[in-house]
Amino acid sequence: MARFVQIVVGIASAPGALGATLIASHFSGSVYTLSFESTSNTSGTLSITSQTTGCGTTPGWIELYSESRQLYCFDESWTGRGVISEYSVASDGRLTLTGQAKTTGNTVHGLLYGGADGRGFVATAEYTPSTVTTYKMPLLGSAMLQLEKFTMAQRGPNPRQDVPHPHEVHLDPTGKFILTPDLGADIVRVFKIDSNTGKLTACSEGKADPGDGPRHIKFWKSAAGRQKAYTLNELGNSVSAWDVTYPSDASGCLALKKTQMLSTYAPGKKGGPTTKAAEIRVVGNFLYASNRADETFGSQQDSIATYTIDPTTGAISWLEAANAYSYYPRTFQFNKNGTLVAVGGQTSSNVAIITRDPATGRLGKLVANLQVGQKGRAGEEDGLSAVVWVE
């Protein structure tokens, strides 16, 4: 039985309040639907409205497709087997399991790609097996389509770089390429997509610096059409900017060239021995990156680094560190109008809703805060794993 909790920051919601739905996954095996209500962008409430299972033993990542109201959950099970689960999202946010496929486990990220509608196949990244795997839709009864196993000639400079560790499968804006930051090999792998068959063909990689440990990647485009990508480097506690070059014909590959790197801490400061950057987001001409275990704002109060993006060149500059109102912020996502951000604290196992000024890019006050499920242990794979807005 779910335990329903409500925490209020500021003025409690009143009739006529604005409402929103969020979904959060927890490493314990549960997926929660949350209700957020606010009278303004500075006060509101969060509450759990439903709870379900079905995403294996260790739900690690969730991906929402708003148009079809489908949620995909990827099991990070470390037992040598896991699942990908598909849910339909009702108007009240309740989830109904509609499909499932078996996996080899340890999936840390996944998404849909290819086919006539861009959702004909599923790609996943497996951290310890050092693999990227694909499946054909629909999930019900789906078997593995392709498995790419990675190796490297020697260990990296960081003790965690013992083998390749792909950490994400990210679709480029054209939908023709999948990019996979590899924390173990210090590269960003690039794959060309055959939209009809779902087959992935490896292209030349983007080369990160030794010890960077790239984890996630996001794209940005200037008004004049200049394309950039930005990686979050978990081991280096940094973000990197990359020039993106598209091929002149359909047979070519997307190419990456690293152009810049900045710390996820203010100039003159650095993280400690247990700090590790986690997530990256781009909103307009602003870039955000979360830091885990830095406690910049006090005990168990970590930070989100904020950067400006030059609207012409795509170069990034440090703006500020903002309070994440959580401990080990593994995941965060902005709402569609960019006025709020939902932060998922992994170890604190909370969802924090924070204001954002779209003009300045700065994050502000805590609007609402809710513990979801049992708290985790610092540095362990437990607690809250992901959070998304349902919009």
- Tally of CB atoms within 10 A around 168: 26
Q: Cβ–Cβ contacts within 10 Å for residue 318, how many?
A: 15
**Of the residues 228, 263, 298, the one at which a domain ends:** 263
| 279 and 383 within one domain | yes
pLDDT of residue 41: 67
119: pLDDT strictly greater than 60: yes
Q: What is the pTM of this model?
A: 0.94
What is the tally of structural domains in the chain? 2
Give percent of the chain above pLDDT 90: 92
Residue 118 has pLDDT above 90, yes or no: yes
Looking at residue 373, its amino acid is: G
Q: Is the pLDDT of residue 90 over 80?
A: yes
pLDDT, one tens digit per residue, over 240-277 is 999 999 999 988 999 999 999 999 999 999 998 999 99
3-class SS of residue 187: strand
> What would you report as the CA-atom Rg of the chain, rounded to the nearest whole angstrom?
20
| Percent with pLDDT over 70 in the chain | 95
Name the 3-class secondary structure at 152: coil
Residue with tokens 């710390």: 263
**Residue 18: which pLDDT band, with cuts at 50, 70 and 90?**
confident
pLDDT value, residue 16: 38
Using alpha carbons, select from 266, 281, 149 the residue that is nearest to residue 215.
281
Task: Identify the pLDDT of residue 141.
Answer: 79
Last residue of a domain, one of 263, 284, 307: 263
Domain that holds residue 12: 1-67+271-391
136: left (phi over 0), alpha (psi -120 to 50) or beta: beta
The pLDDT value recorded for residue 187 is 98
pLDDT at 42: 79
What are 127-141's pLDDT values in tens digits?
999 999 999 999 987
Q: 230 with 293, same domain? A: no
Tokens of 218: 């996001």
Q: Looking at residue 182, which CATH number applies to its domain?
A: 2.130.10.10
* 152, 245: one domain: yes
Contacts of 205 (CB under 8 A, 6+ apart): 182, 187, 188, 189, 190, 256
Q: What would the pLDDT profile of 285-311 be if each residue is shown by its tens digit?
A: 999 999 999 999 999 999 999 999 999
Model confidence at 10: pLDDT above 70 = no
**Per-residue pLDDT reduced to its tens digit, 358-379:** 999 999 999 999 999 999 999 9
- Listed as own residue / partner, the contacts of 352-355 with beta carbons closer than 8 Å and 24 or more positions apart are 352/324, 352/325, 352/326, 353/36, 353/44, 353/46, 354/322, 354/323, 354/324, 354/325, 355/41, 355/42
Please check the confidence at residue 4 and state whether its pLDDT lies above 90: no
Per-chain mean pLDDT for the chain? 94
Tell whether the model's pLDDT for residue 8 goes beyond 80.
no
DSSP structural state of residue 162: S
Q: Are residues 256 and 121 in the same domain?
A: yes
**Closest Cα partner for 75 from 65, 85, 67?**
85
Residues 258 and 276 in one domain: no
Whether 319 and 354 share a structural domain: yes
Residue 321: band (very low, low, confident or very high) from pLDDT cuts 50, 70, 90 = very high
**Domain boundary, last residue among 242, 263, 284:** 263
- Residue 135 falls inside a structural domain: yes
Cis peptide before 159 (omega within 30 of 0): no
